A = this chain, B = another copy of it.
Amino acid sequence: MKPNETILKTAYVQAQKAFKEDEVPVGAVIYNSNTGEIISTAYNETEKTKNPLAHAEILAIQKACETLNTKRLNGYSLFVTLEPCVMCAGAISLARLDAVYFGAFDPKTGAVLQGAEVFKHTQTHHKPIVLGGLNADENGKILTDFFKAKRK
């Protein structure tokens, strides 16, 4: 199922938390594809943890795998407020998520519908359902606001 309002709102709140902590404001939620039950939430933590790989999607996947005690997330979907980068798109495939829904399109570092187009290659074995542009304005604005404030 497409992410419902609760899932969209939860991811946005995660992005807001990131903003408050001076992290690039991106939030992610993993939920049961049938029931919509939320299994994990996360936001970017690259600054705080000094880990360049601590993107919202990576943290959400790792939390979900830990909670469910599995390395395969078939039956679950991910919503993230920004189009995933190449690392995260690869991680989504490796985790075998059913679907990836995202908010704002990311022409700068996106790798789902542009750039590396990760899910288009035969070397990417598991190809999730992809749908972008959900609440794109709101999810994009928080990023624009963040970088605008940074440049001041």
Chain A contact residues, CB within 8 Å of chain B: 46-47, 50-53, 58, 61-62, 65-66, 69-72, 85-91, 93-96, 107-111, 114-118, 121-125
Contact = CB atoms under 8 A, between A and B. Distances in A.
B116 A117 contact: yes
A91 B93 CA distance: 15
6 contacts: A46-B71, A51-B66, A52-B72, A53-B61, A87-B91, A108-B123
A138 B91 CA distance: 28
A53 B92 CA distance: 9
Nearest to A115: B123
Given A86-B116, A111-B123, 10 more contacts: A51-B65, A52-B91, A53-B61, A53-B91, A86-B87, A87-B87, A87-B91, A110-B123, A116-B116, A116-B123
**What are the 8 A-B residue pairs with the smallest beta carbon separation, nearest first?**
A87-B90, A115-B123, A86-B90, A115-B121, A116-B116, A52-B71, A52-B94, A50-B71
Contacts of A53: 58, 61-62, 91, 94-95
Contacts of A85: 90, 94, 123
A122 B70 CA distance: 35
Contacts of A118: 86, 116
Contacts of A108: 123
A114 B123 contact: yes
Contacts of A52: 61, 65, 71-72, 91, 94-96
